[in-house]
Amino acid sequence: MSTLLSWIRAWGHWLVFLLLEGISLVLLLRFNSYQGSVWFTQANTVTAKILSWGSQVSAYSNLGEVNRQLTETNISLQTENETLRQRLAVLEHDSSLTERTVSRQLAGIKRIPAQVIDNSIRNKDNYITINRGYKDGVQNEMGVVCGTGIVGIVCEANKHYAVIQPVLNSKSSISCRLKNSEYFGYLKWEGGNPLRAFIDDIPRHARIKIGEQVETSGFSSVFPPGIFIGKVKRILNSEDGLSYKLEIRLSTDFAKLREVNVIEYKTRTEAE
């Protein structure tokens, strides 16, 4: 017993130092999601691999839900494709030229498939980590999508991993438009419900319907136009009463996010 006490007296200050350092590190990474994500991508490859293995195990348990979403998405795409073909068939101009133009635009979009290995939805500023980095072609400011719609934008990438700033982040601002009327605004998340976001400054004279689809506007070099974002759930008044504020039901359930695609979109000017 006396030996133990002597050892504690001799090394106690080091034990207290290490304990305080450990507590400080835990608090920093626990309550600062961005620092935690960046630290994770830069210095913790072993932990990343463990999370990746865990993500794969979790993915197996969710194959049924993933397959259901893929089936619904495929059916929706097939239906929309058939509708577009029918509309093109009755247009007065050269429909084959239109089809070639659309195909050429879509062919220019590079897609990099990736798995989500770390994700948060309960913070004010959430971040997502994926198992692809600049070695795979991922760079900062690239858009990220999934089978149900938009996800976010890459904000940090190293050799093998990247951090995404998703829609569920107070700093996120995605240019979007109403599909039918083409009025546009910026999609912002105000915290709380991970399935709800808002669009401000829609003109009072705009004719908006509940359930109207919202999609990317194409006004940036990050996302091409027409990527599904969600649907209008409620039409509210802005704080000054001079415009509308739209509540949007997001199409992507971030709590179930497992597979994503990083896209390298080039505007027509950049492509030329």
Mean pLDDT of 6-26: 69
Tokens found for residue 174: 């995605």
Mean pLDDT of 174-180: 90
Q: In percent, how much of the chain has pLDDT > 90? A: 37
Whether the per-residue pLDDT at 77 is higher than 90: the answer is no
Provide the pLDDT for residue 60. 57
Whether the per-residue pLDDT at 93 is higher than 50: the answer is no
Whether the per-residue pLDDT at 111 is higher than 90: the answer is no
Residue 271 neighbours by CB under 8 Å, 6+ apart: 108
Residues 238-250 pLDDT 10s? 887 788 999 999 9
Class of domain 47-61+108-272 as given by CATH: mainly beta
Q: What is the Cα gyration radius of the chain?
A: 23
Provide the pLDDT for residue 27. 65
Q: What is the DSSP letter of 226?
A: T
Residue 144 neighbours by CB under 8 Å, 6+ apart: 128, 130, 150, 151, 152, 153, 154, 164, 166, 260, 261, 262, 263
Percent helix / strand / coil, the chain, rounded to 5: 40, 30, 30
Residue 93 neighbours by CB under 8 Å, 6+ apart: none
Banded model confidence at residue 61, pLDDT cuts 50, 70, 90: low
Where in the chain is CATH 2.40.10.350?
47-61+108-272
Banded model confidence at residue 40, pLDDT cuts 50, 70, 90: low
Provide the pLDDT for residue 272. 39
Whole-structure pTM value: 0.64
Mean pLDDT of 67-72: 65
Provide the pLDDT for residue 219. 85
